[in-house]
Amino acid sequence: MFQPLYVAATALSAQQDEILEITNNLANAQTVAFKKGRTEMESLFYVEKNFQDILYEEMSGYETPPVSVEYGTGVRVASTPKDFTQGSIEITNNPFDLAINGDGFFQFQLAEGAVAYGRAGNLHLDNDGNLVDPNGHKLDPGISFPQGTTAVVIRQDGTILAAVNNDLEYSEIGQINIVKFTNPAGLKSLGQNLYEATEASGEVMMGVAGQDGYGTINQYSIEKSNVDVISEMMRMVMVQRVFDTVSKAVQSYEAMLTSLERMKQ
């Protein structure tokens, strides 16, 4: 008898999760290389009989007609995948700002030997000359600049050249390799613009930037968030309307229950 209330509760919960995803997207509209998320929903299981059908059979002695009459039980959030479409490239004046133009992720070293992946290339040097992200995570394989480095050139294939003490000669000190996945949407978000490989994301494939389908590495550039603020606001309006409509359905059902209660008096 209270099934409509249960269905409505699942709908309100799902719309709340949708608003949470939208809010997170908007909050990170200016985050370097942030990838927007979306909420995918699916219907819950269906039932073929309810109390009215059983009551009819018991009172009439006849079974209901052999017609498929199904009653839905609500909705749930099935997944919240990331959209890894390319963000716009912004030019900077920092030689350690790197943007991947195309497919690929930087690989970073975490604590205890763990590895994470990200597209945010707003890098800098730590006290030991290691190239790290804003949270101190080193690139993997690590890149270390010699003391006294005065100029840096990073080619589109990731090759790094450095000049020391204003020398006109550049020496190659390493190369930044990038990785890609069969299904990037299957990566697990760790925060700090980093992701973790999962079974759903597929095997990690390391390659050279600019070759075999890997994106190029652009120096003096950062990738901006791919969040479209206008689209997110439109989604928010739609979710609000659905939420309001379901709330009105609950109010209508409560009014029906009130009428039934009055009939008993």
| Sites in the chain below the pLDDT cut of 70 | 1, 49-68, 264-265
Please tell me the predicted confidence (pLDDT) of residue 181. 96
Return the pLDDT at 60: 67
Residue-level pLDDT at 5: 85
Q: Report d(CA 121, CA 83) in Å as an integer.
A: 18
Domain boundaries, the chain: 3-29+40-79+228-264, 89-223
pTM: 0.84
Residue 65 has a pLDDT of 58
Q: What pLDDT is attached to residue 52? A: 65
Tell me, what's the pLDDT at 56?
Answer: 66
